[in-house]
Structure 1
C-alpha cells in the first residue's frame, strides 16, 4: 500500500481519520476498517482471555463536525446462551476478520494462522521395500499416478533403487523389439568355428561327415523347441515311383523313427548296434522303415529323440576316431551301395529334407543348409544321375542311348546349371554311366535354383514344375529331370 498517512504518537497509523489494524504476518496489505465499526468493548471481566481484543492505546482521533451515526452491526453469530458474565462465548456479534487471530492464539496478542499446507496426491510414508517392489511396475508404466509420484520422488534420493530402475527400463526396451526371437540357424556353426579357431579339436570331425553333423544338430534343435503335442502332428512324406508322385502319412515322431532306422545302415557298416535289433533286418530303406513302424505297438512319442540323437553322435564319434581309411567303407542300401563318405552325405540330405517336412507340420522356420554343404549334396545327386538314367532306360522309362561310348570316353552330356545358393555347373553323361560328360559334347542345358533342384531330387516337386530354363535336346532334358526325381525314396 502507498503511505498517505502518518504515525500517531501512540504508534498507530492514521489514514484519512480511519484507524488501521495491521493484518496477519505475511499478509500483502493491512485491513481497512473504516466501513466496519468496532464492536463495543465488553464489560469488565466479561471477555475470555483467549478472545481478547488487542488493546488500543491511542485515543480516537478528533473529527470536525457532528459525530456520524453509529453503523449497524455486521450480522454475525451473536453470543449464545452460555455468554453470561465472564462466559466463554462473550464478545461481539461481528463476523471474525479473515486471517485474524483464531481461538488458538496465545495470550499476549494476535497470532497469525499458518497457511494451510499443500496436500500431495502421492502416497505418503511408503517404506523403502514397498517402493523397491514397485520398480518393475514403474518401468512398465503400470503404476497409478500416485504410485508413480512416490517412486520418482524416492529415486531422487536412493542411488541403489535409481540404478535398478535404469536397468529395468533398459530391459523393458528389449520387450518391444520388432525382430524375430528365433535364433540364427548359422549360430551353432559360427560358434564352433570360433571355438575351433582358438583351439582346434583334438580329434576333428572328418570333412566328409561335417554336413551330417550339422544337419542332425539343426534337426535336434528344432525337436527341442516343439511341445509334446506337436510330436503327434501329421507329416506327409512324398517321393516319386516310376512316373508318379506318391506319399505316406505319419507323425513327427514317426519321421524320427524313419531316420533312425535308415541310419542303422551306417551303424551296421561301422560295426555299431543296429536299432532294429537283429542281423535279419532288411537293407532296403523302405522295408526297414516299415519294419520299425510295425514293431512299434504304440505311436512313437518324443521318447524316440534320445536314441536317434545318441545314434548320430556315435556315428560321428566313430568316424572321427577311425580316420581317413574309413571314408571308403561300403554301405549297402540293398539295391545299390555307397561309400561311407557319400552315405553320410546322403543321410545329411535326407535329414534336411525331413527336417523341412517337420517344420512345415509345426509351422517352424527352417532354412536351407549352408552353401558349402548344399553344394556337396547337389554334387552327390549329379554324380548319381547317370546311373539313375541308365536304370530308367533299362526299365523302358527313358529314351535309348544314341552313342556307344566306351568307359572313360567323352559322350553326349547335359549341362546342369545350378544357380544361387550352393550353385555350380555339372555335365551329366547321357548314354552311359561310365562315360565322361564334357562341355564340348553338351546337347542340352537346364538351369535350376539350388534348393529347387534338391526338392526335385527329394520328390517334393514334379519334373514338369522344376526347370526354370531349358535349351537343346528336349528328350534329353525330360530324361534327366525324371531321373533326378527317381532318386527320391521314402
Structure 2
C-alpha cells in the first residue's frame, strides 16, 4: 500500500518537514559517471565558451543528476554526440550553479583555490571557516570569508557555531574552587538534615581548617611538596626561623596533633616514648625519618585529623574538658583543638606562599574564636615574660577575681571585637573602667602577630595611652608563637 500522501500530510500536521527520497542510488551509477568529460569539438582550446552537458553532469551535486535515458527530450542525447554537435537542452550557464545556487561556487579551481575570475570557490571558503573562527586567517582570507558569509546561509550558520565553540575555549572564569566550598556545602546539608552524630561546635574550626589545607595539598604537584618553606616564631626579643619543605610542614602538624591524640587515648604517631614539647616532637619526627618527608605524609596526617574529629564527636560533652598537655603548659580539649585549627591555618598560609597558591583567612566566626583564645592567653604570657625580666613589673597588687589595670584591645575587621587584657596578674579581671591604654589592630594582622610572623613594633595600627603597657602586651602576643 502506498501511504506517501498520507505520510506527508501527517508530517505536515506535526510540523516536521518531509525529506524527499533520493532520485538516484549509488548502485545506479555507471563506470562512466566519474570519467573526465571531453570538450566539444567546437570549444576553444583555452576552455572558453560552452562546457559540455557531460562535464556539467559530473560536477553537479549527485542528488541533482538525472538519468539521460529517461528524462532527455526525444531525439536528443545528453552528450557530445547529439545531432549537429549541439549540447543537450538545459546545458549552459544555468547548469553551472553550485549547491547554494551561486554560480561562483561551481567554478573550477584556478591556482591556489581560485575560480576562473580569481575568486575563491565555495569549497575553499568553507574550509577556511575554522581558521576564521580562531582569527587565524590572513587579512585577504578574512575579507573573502566574510564576503562569502553574506551570500551563503549554510556557511554563515556554520561560522556562528564555530565562533560559539571558540568562545567556550577562551573563558575568563576562575577555575579554582573556593577553599570554603566544602564547609559551606556541609553546613547547608546539615542545616536541611542534621547529622546523627554532629561535630561539636568547639571542634568545627579544626574540622574546617584541616579540610581547607587538605584541598590545597590535593591541588599541588609532586615537585611542589619539596618547595622550601620557612617557619617563623619568636623567642625572647627576636624572631627565629627554621627551614623545611611543604612535606616537612605536614609532618610538623601531625607530630603536634599527636598530643591531642594521646589525650583522647588514641595512638601517638611518634610512639609512647615521644617528647612532650611541640618543638622537640617535631625535631624528633624529622630526624627519625630515613629520608625527608614526601607527599606520602598527607594520607596519615589526614587520617589522623579525621580520627580526632570522629572521636570527639562520639565522645560527647565530657571530651571538651579533657586536658591536653603541651609540656610547659596545658589546655582543655576545646581550646587545644582551636589552637590546632589556628596553627593549621597559619602553616597552610606558609605553604600557599611557597607554592604561589591563593589562600583566604578562616571564616569570621572561627577567626573570632581564635582571637578570643589568644586574648585569654595574653595575661599568662605577660606574667611569664615578667618573671624572665622581659617585661615591666606589676604596678598594683590585685586580689584574684578583682579588676586591675587593663589594656583595651580593639580588633577590627572580620572576626573582630573588644577585649580587656589584665596587665598586673593573670588572676585579675580586665575591665573598661581600669583601661590605661588602647591598641587597635586588624584581625588577620593580630593573628599574624600571635603566630610570630609580624614584629611587635610593626603590628599596631593605632596606639593610645601607657606606652610601656602597650609594648609589653604586643611582645607577649608574639611570645605565644612557637614551632
TM bin, normalised by shorter chain, reads: 0.7 to 0.9
Q: Which residue of 1 aligns with 2:406?
A: 413
Q: Which residue of 1 aligns with 2:236?
A: 242
Alpha-carbon distance in structure 1 between the residues aligned to 2:51 and 2:174: 72
Please list the CA deviations of residues 278-303 of structure 1 after superposition, one character each: whole Å capped at 9, or x if unmatched.
x2111100000000000011011000
Q: Which residue of 2 aligns with 1:328?
A: 321
Residue 288 (str. 1) matches residue 281 (str. 2): yes
Q: Which residue of 2 aligns with 1:384?
A: 377
Residue 192 (str. 1) matches residue 186 (str. 2): yes
Written as runs of structure 1 = structure 2, the 5 A alignment for 1:61-210 is 104=80, 106-107=82-83, 114-115=92-93, 118=104, 119=107, 121=120, 140=134, 166=161, 170=164, 172-210=166-204
Residue 269 (str. 1) matches residue 263 (str. 2): yes
Residue 459 (str. 1) matches residue 437 (str. 2): no
Contact 2:51 2:92 in 1 (8 A): no
> Given the superposition, is the C-alpha separation of residues 170 and 322 from structure 1 closer, same or farther in structure 2, using an over 3 Å criterion?
farther
TM superposition score normalised by structure 2: 0.72
Runs of 4+ in structure 1 deviating by more than 4 angstroms, as ranges, are 98-105, 108-113, 120-125, 134-146, 155-158, 168-171
Aligned length: 384
Q: CA RMSD in A?
A: 3.5
Q: Which residue of 2 aligns with 1:34?
A: none
> Given the superposition, is the C-alpha separation of residues 179 and 274 from structure 1 closer, same or farther in structure 2, using an over 3 Å criterion?
same
Deviation at 1:181, TM superposition (A): 2.4
Deviation at 1:442, TM superposition (A): 0.2
Written as runs of structure 1 = structure 2, the 5 A alignment for 1:392-403 is 392-403=385-396
> Given the superposition, is the C-alpha separation of residues 109 and 294 from structure 1 closer, same or farther in structure 2, using an over 3 Å criterion?
closer
Residue 227 (str. 1) matches residue 225 (str. 2): no
Please list the CA deviations of residues 92-127 of structure 1 after superposition, one character each: whole Å capped at 9, or x if unmatched.
xxxxxx9699994843586697236632745769xx
Alpha-carbon distance in structure 1 between the residues aligned to 2:424 and 2:80: 120
Alpha-carbon distance in structure 1 between the residues aligned to 2:50 and 2:172: 65
Please list the CA deviations of residues 353-385 of structure 1 after superposition, one character each: whole Å capped at 9, or x if unmatched.
000111111111111111110000000000000
Q: Which residue of 2 aligns with 1:255?
A: 249
Contact 1:101 1:110 in 2 (8 A): no
> Given the superposition, is the C-alpha separation of residues 291 and 106 from structure 1 closer, same or farther in structure 2, using an over 3 Å criterion?
same
SS in 2 for 1:342: helix
Q: Which residue of 1 aligns with 2:337?
A: 344
Instruction: In structure 1, list runs of 5 or more residues that go unmatched.
Output: 1-49, 52-76, 78-97, 126-130
Alpha-carbon distance in structure 2 between the residues aligned to 1:207 and 1:253: 30
Please list the CA deviations of residues 373-406 of structure 1 after superposition, one character each: whole Å capped at 9, or x if unmatched.
0000000000000000000011111000011111
Alpha-carbon distance in structure 2 between the residues aligned to 1:345 and 1:421: 17
Alpha-carbon distance in structure 2 between the residues aligned to 1:100 and 1:474: 106
Deviation at 1:185, TM superposition (A): 2.3
Q: Which residue of 2 aligns with 1:37?
A: none
| The structure with more radius of gyration | 1
Contact 1:331 1:338 in 2 (8 A): yes
> Given the superposition, is the C-alpha separation of residues 232 and 440 from structure 1 closer, same or farther in structure 2, using an over 3 Å criterion?
same
Deviation at 1:137, TM superposition (A): 7.5
Task: Answer 1 or 2: which has greater helix percent.
Answer: 2
Contact 2:179 2:215 in 1 (8 A): no
Q: Which residue of 2 aligns with 1:404?
A: 397
Alpha-carbon distance in structure 2 between the residues aligned to 1:186 and 1:176: 27
Contact 1:328 1:339 in 2 (8 A): yes
Please list the CA deviations of residues 58-79 of structure 1 after superposition, one character each: whole Å capped at 9, or x if unmatched.
xxxxxxxxxxxxxxxxxxx9xx
Alpha-carbon distance in structure 2 between the residues aligned to 1:184 and 1:100: 71
TM superposition score normalised by structure 1: 0.71
